[in-house]
Amino acid sequence: MTGLAIKVLIVDDQTMVRQSFHAVLNAQPDITIVGEAGNGADAVHATTRERPDVVLMDVRMPVMDGLEATREILGDTGLDTKVLMLTTFDIDEYVYGALRAGASGFLLKDAPLDDLVNAVRVVAAGNALFAPAVTRRLIAEFAARREPIAPERAGRLTAQELKVLRLVARGLSNTEIAAALVIVEQTAKTHVSRVFAKLGVRDRAQAIVAAYEMGVVVPGEN
């Protein structure tokens, strides 16, 4: 995140939705709206131009959908932008693909506006955020698999780093990881950064996907 305020780009093909989100978010003292876009192609151009901290991205849009736009935005290594996806129950088949593309979180479009404000702040801070319904869908996706699809990636991590990844995948913050492993918070932060680097992931959301893909964590496991 850059500057004092969180810079947000709102992407949705419905004008009324964009205006509603704009009014709520721009009223926050720590959030500034830097632009709007009505399709994924315009979102990619606007992101390159405005360099927002967070892109609030709808999934289904004309010209280019939110999933492809997310891939293009997060594939640009010159940007430090997070993507918060907006989803509904009838399009949750996009969840896994968007996570693999690097989206930092998901929020249901009918969520309370207060949840939207909180979600922007959480994602801007570098944390993953998932609506409960989306989390259930994602876990079900992995639970249906008999075998991990990328177990060899686990070999890149030390035993301590594997422990850290398991805790990240269960949603623990750096402070909570430090407490669980009885280490100082700075050491926990260093371990998390090394895990991300070794796995080639951007943030906690992608790390969670990687942990499930490697079989490091299993749905339903304590």
Distance of CA 64 to the CA centre of its chain: 20
The rounded distance, in Å, linking the Cα atoms of 29 and 69 is 28
The rounded distance, in Å, linking the Cα atoms of 73 and 215 is 28
Q: Mind listing the pLDDT tens digit for each residue in 72-104?
A: 998 876 788 999 988 775 555 666 777 777 788
The rounded distance, in Å, linking the Cα atoms of 79 and 88 is 27
The rounded distance, in Å, linking the Cα atoms of 60 and 92 is 11
CB 40 within 8 A of CB 64: yes
CB 38 within 8 A of CB 16: no
pLDDT at residue 2 above 60? no
Least confident range of 7-16, 49-58, 66-75, 81-90: 81-90
The rounded distance, in Å, linking the Cα atoms of 34 and 47 is 9
> Residue 55 has what pLDDT?
96
- Domains of the chain (ranges; CATH) run 6-140 (3.40.50.2300), 147-214 (1.10.10.10)
Q: Mind listing the pLDDT tens digit for each residue in 123-166?
A: 898 777 766 556 656 666 665 665 666 667 778 899 999 999 99
The DSSP letter of residue 183 is: -
> CA torsion 192→193→197→198, rounded to 10°?
-40
In sign, the C-alpha dihedral spanning 101, 104, 105, 109 is negative
Determine phi and psi for 215, rounding to 5 degrees: 80, 15
> pTM to 2 decimals?
0.71
